[in-house]
Amino acid sequence: MWEENRGKKYKGIDIIEFYQKEATKRKNTIPKKTFYNRFLKIEDCIMISKPYEEKFEEKRYKISLYELLKNVYYEEAFGINISSKRKKEVYRNNISFENFTIGDIVLATSPGFHIQGAIRHAAIFDSRRYHGSVDDECLLTAEPNKGVIYESIRFYHENFGEAWGLYVPNTTLQQRISVVDELTKHLGERYYWSAHKNNSRTWYCSLVPWRGYYNITGIDIDYNGGYWVLPIDIFMSEYTEVFEYSRG
């Protein structure tokens, strides 16, 4: 198939390059369990990011969330200092986008308690806007006060201590292009973090890749089928695989 399609493009995507990168991703697949002890757990549910300390053991709390928040030593569990004088931490990673193909998903996080859960941010990759620069705005997502937008790779490198690249293996090139093309129709639409995931008029970051795949392919990359689809739900989904990782 590669030789037959050499030099050919489909809707702006080099076909041979796409399949070569797909083969590379399959070879580079990283088992998700590799990362489970990077997160704190409440009972058997991964909830929040843990501090970046190799000796910090995974914790399982057999109490209610209320009791946990009331009694826990915050700095140990959440990686935060309650003092308002605390200097803002800077987190960085250097995830490579060289093997990303259209429709791939990037997830990113930093230590501490996040209302979003174990992973803070999500976006979907549009390879047609990537030309090898960290300033290429090729990551489609949604942000407060901005709505659905394209963000640069630099934003992800300079604001998060960890980042993952994921793909949805059982989808075709045509499907992935259709997913991204459909999502671009919604650029500028409103951000609303507490919206039900089936509210088609509002968006938040992880809703962008989820809704694209669900509406176009019928594949539900929400791990638990809840009211929201959080970045950690996309990470834990049986329909996604990790092929890239970077930790600052």
State the average pLDDT over residues 185-199: 91
> For residue 55, what pLDDT band results from cuts at 50, 70 and 90?
very low
Judge residue 62's burial from the number of C-beta atoms within 10 Å of its C-beta, 0-12 exposed, 13-18 middle, 19 or more buried. exposed
- Is 47 within the bounds of a domain? no
In single-letter form, the type of residue at position 197 comes to: K
- Is 133 within the bounds of a domain? yes
Crossing angle (nearest 10°) for helices 207-217 and 173-184: 120
| CATH code at position 107 | 3.90.1720.10
Contacts of residue 114, defined as CB under 8 A and 6 or more positions apart, other chains included, come to 48, 49, 120
- Is 202 within the bounds of a domain? yes
Nearest to 65 by CA among 117, 119, 108, 121: 117
- Is 48 within the bounds of a domain? no
**Chain position carrying tokens 């689809």:** 229
**Chain position carrying tokens 């009791």:** 67
Please report, rounded to a whole number, the percentage of residues in the chain having pLDDT higher than 70. Answer: 75
State the average pLDDT over residues 47-52: 54
- Is 51 within the bounds of a domain? no
End-to-end CA distance of the chain: 38
Strand partners, 247: 162
pLDDT, tens digit, for every residue of 201-245?
899 999 999 999 999 999 999 998 888 899 999 999 999 999 999
- Is 17 within the bounds of a domain? yes
Domain enclosing residue 134, as ranges: 9-36+97-247
Nearest to 59 by CA among 45, 70, 71: 45
